[in-house]
Structure 1
């Protein structure tokens, strides 16, 4: 018994000494993390991997939902896997290779090149079928000339360091005033379909020309894989988080269903409180939640964020982009080459304007989806799915005739209403300078910020979120390892 007691005392002494000296062992496993990452979307996961690669292993990722991926979010709709959020790998085939495209290829994600070249042949009148192709093509050519003019204006403003203007202002400079249903739907397709906001709201200087397409190429690939587009986030996560034999993440450094409600900061570190009442402490925190969550004050900061930070966050735009999926008993729309995308021109701009059938992606499933944005997205979130379905069926009957069948199922995402996102992605509005943008991503003490809304070149895109996470993690690493903690704003 004396020998056993001596061994127990020695074991206890070893644990105590390990705690005091910081040696590896059971005691050090309970040490507070160096960094807490709030959110496990693409930016949060890429930030965490970058920290891990730099040797900062004591991290804790707190994710509010029951999954990783953020706004890369698949759902089962009538037996097929559809993407509610991010859907395209935008920017392929250019002088640089989009890192998301590299990941998609490594994973062999099922994706399809989107060819919009024939859309002028598939533009529908308010009632009575398609416009004559020559009429629609002429209207497209005029609108595309206006876009080219806006690009040159933007380059000139940048070269002369002149103040920003909106896309709408550049259109007016060209004496372009879309007012007919055809002109309005083309204007919507060329602007809103990408930015999710109208020309009057969008910065010309910071959106034209698009860095995504200039740097990475003009092609876009539509992801339609049962594993989901979110697979690329899992791909990044699995490079530094432990997994089981099935590839599922088992690393205790990732905690799901942890809704962060408060973040407190002091010179000594941070305290992150979750909805379950627990408080997690660390030296630093990276906040990778959406801009919409920050704008709606769904996380309380103690002390409050400085006024300059709040103003910068609130001045940027969180856009809403809604894809509404419909299932039918049989196909009644044209199919085959050049028919995948079609437009509906209505007297009300943005009223169920952009359509896509999924015959290539899901043959025989008879699935359509229609994209709405901005005010229409807000309106639809306030009404029932049955009301939305009735409106959509009226539009489809205006396009294809009264004899078409009723949709058997509908799926209407509600990004604005979702407290974990409060919108779809950011858009650079007129009036926000690069100085103010730098304030959006600037750290406040030991609280750092990341997300697609902090990528000046690629805001709103998956690759923007990926690059933003890397950039924020590198900034934090410089502070932790070299004491270079200042940030110029």
Structure 2
């Protein structure tokens, strides 16, 4: 099959919504470039926008929240509103009354309130320090979030302080402060731009209905089913051959596609794996930019019980478990508001704990979870009817949930991460730094990458660099087709 443009799509890019491929294809389509092809490794579009049925209810293994109420309009929130998707404002305001000790029982509210006040002041210091580090004309070396906490002289060490710090940082970044860049993570522009009102989407149509809505703007469909011949499902790309004249893509089922250009929108975790072979090998500057970035793991584990035994009602939706081991089943949420009578709980784990858990059998994970729940609510609680455990890190199409900016990774290196290699363009939430790891990063990355490709097609002088007008110096002069460059 020969196409003038091949938009290569295999998997989505992050736990939060990753509609990069669809937005890139739509942008190309809207510019008049309609001879495109989308290759999807899975049986449906969405990637980590992944809705599943769990005991008669639709739950989201991936993207779950949309953000609104800020100075900028949020496109995802607008689409959710337009589709009348059921969303619920998440209220974290009473966390001080909902943190459990390692051996059971709630911490006194006044003790938690004092710890939260310290955490809030520390977070404000980190934001201010990050702003000073990045001030124009005074740009300084980056530090980790942990280093800024040390400078504040309030480093979380107790189980209570650690779970609160986890709530502030790991819950957003999916990695701990010791490895996370301060300058490139804080302040969190997602909330500055779009607001701090986070809405939990719990609709029978699933979060993926947002992506389907976008896809239907340019792909042929019947009702909710995309039937466009330009979308190929169950196509696992294993090899990309590129030269100065074009690109050849080979899939696992033996199919071969020819194109002038390719947009690769797989996660940085997949790029770090051996799933896709590039021929010739990507140049060293590119592989180094890929390997030095972080692919984090953020996992929600769902449990359904025969009856609820946890507090419900206003200001009880979220509760935390403080353990001496940071990140040990720390963040809990019940769904009695969103799904009354469902008796569903889920717990969020990240980073090394998420990886450790993935390597265990479901029954072992359930035993660990039940031990934690019994510490919080006593031994007289039922066993779950069912448990649902996503394994993002083990899945070859994802290799993690979303990217995180590690300490020591420069803006120059990030430019290389999204820099094209010949006729291969790279896109995904990991390429859009302002909202890195969030749904909006994927949205804007798809549009940005497609627009750069359009400029290349229309004006050849833009083909060799991601942004010829960038103030950042050109990062390399190597021949992109030279594997030893």
Q: Is structure 2 residue 154 aligned with structure 1 residue 183?
A: no
The 8 Å contact of residues 2 and 258 in structure 2, kept in 1 or not, is answered as no
SS for the counterpart of 1:179 is coil
Q: Is structure 2 residue 274 aligned with structure 1 residue 297?
A: yes
Task: State the partner residue of 2:8.
Answer: 37
Q: Is structure 2 residue 132 aligned with structure 1 residue 156?
A: yes
SS for the counterpart of 1:343 is strand
**Counterpart Cα distance in 2 of 1:38 and 1:332:** 44
Residue in structure 2 matching 1:60, options 31, 37, 47: 37
Task: State the partner residue of 1:140.
Answer: 116
Alignment of 1:98-117 (within 5 A): 98-117=74-93
Alignment of 1:279-290 (within 5 A): 279-290=256-267
**Counterpart Cα distance in 2 of 1:86 and 1:128:** 31
Alignment of 1:111-260 (within 5 A): 111-159=87-135, 160-244=138-222, 246-260=223-237
User: CA distance change for structure 1 residues 61 and 238 in 2, over 3 Å: closer, same or farther?
Assistant: same
**Counterpart Cα distance in 2 of 1:110 and 1:262:** 41
**Counterpart Cα distance in 1 of 2:411 and 2:398:** 24
Q: Is structure 2 residue 301 aligned with structure 1 residue 363?
A: no
Residue in structure 2 matching 1:85, options 41, 46, 62: 62
How far 1:35 moved relative to its partner? 2.4
Which ranges in structure 1 are unaligned for 5 or more consecutive residues?
1-29
**Counterpart Cα distance in 1 of 2:209 and 2:4:** 27
TM-score calculated relative to the size of structure 1: 0.92
The 8 Å contact of residues 38 and 285 in structure 1, kept in 2 or not, is answered as no
How far 1:51 moved relative to its partner? 0.2
**Counterpart Cα distance in 1 of 2:4 and 2:358:** 40
SS for the counterpart of 2:149 is helix
The 8 Å contact of residues 261 and 275 in structure 1, kept in 2 or not, is answered as yes
**Counterpart Cα distance in 2 of 1:225 and 1:309:** 41
The 8 Å contact of residues 304 and 385 in structure 2, kept in 1 or not, is answered as yes
The 8 Å contact of residues 7 and 263 in structure 2, kept in 1 or not, is answered as yes
Which of the pair has more CA radius of gyration?
A: 1
TM-score calculated relative to the size of structure 2: 0.93
User: CA distance change for structure 1 residues 31 and 379 in 2, over 3 Å: closer, same or farther?
Assistant: closer
RMSD: 1.0
**Counterpart Cα distance in 2 of 1:40 and 1:371:** 23
**Counterpart Cα distance in 2 of 1:346 and 1:436:** 37
Misfit runs of 4+, over 4 Å: none
Q: Is structure 2 residue 318 aligned with structure 1 residue 306?
A: no
Indicate the larger mover: 256-265 or 208-217: 208-217
The 8 Å contact of residues 428 and 442 in structure 2, kept in 1 or not, is answered as yes
Task: State the partner residue of 1:470.
Answer: 447
How far 1:254 moved relative to its partner? 0.1
The 8 Å contact of residues 33 and 60 in structure 1, kept in 2 or not, is answered as no
The 8 Å contact of residues 37 and 59 in structure 1, kept in 2 or not, is answered as no
The 8 Å contact of residues 2 and 259 in structure 2, kept in 1 or not, is answered as no
SS for the counterpart of 1:112 is strand
SS for the counterpart of 2:384 is coil
Task: State the partner residue of 2:371.
Answer: 394
**Counterpart Cα distance in 1 of 2:305 and 2:162:** 28
Q: Is structure 2 residue 50 aligned with structure 1 residue 73?
A: yes
How far 1:57 moved relative to its partner? 0.4
SS for the counterpart of 2:7 is strand
Q: Is structure 2 residue 286 aligned with structure 1 residue 315?
A: no
How far 1:40 moved relative to its partner? 6.1
The 8 Å contact of residues 40 and 61 in structure 1, kept in 2 or not, is answered as no
How far 1:445 moved relative to its partner? 0.3
Aligned residues: 458
The 8 Å contact of residues 97 and 216 in structure 1, kept in 2 or not, is answered as yes
Q: Is structure 2 residue 70 aligned with structure 1 residue 94?
A: yes
**Counterpart Cα distance in 2 of 1:371 and 1:31:** 45
**Counterpart Cα distance in 2 of 1:261 and 1:167:** 37
The 8 Å contact of residues 11 and 398 in structure 2, kept in 1 or not, is answered as no
**Counterpart Cα distance in 2 of 1:84 and 1:257:** 20
Q: Is structure 2 residue 317 aligned with structure 1 residue 340?
A: yes
User: CA distance change for structure 1 residues 151 and 77 in 2, over 3 Å: closer, same or farther?
Assistant: same
How far 1:177 moved relative to its partner? 2.1
Q: Which structure dedicates a bigger proportion of its chain to helix?
A: 1
Task: State the partner residue of 2:249.
Answer: 272
How far 1:231 moved relative to its partner? 1.2
How far 1:36 moved relative to its partner? 2.8
**Counterpart Cα distance in 1 of 2:355 and 2:450:** 34
SS for the counterpart of 2:383 is coil
Residue in structure 1 matching 2:457, options 462, 467, 480: 480
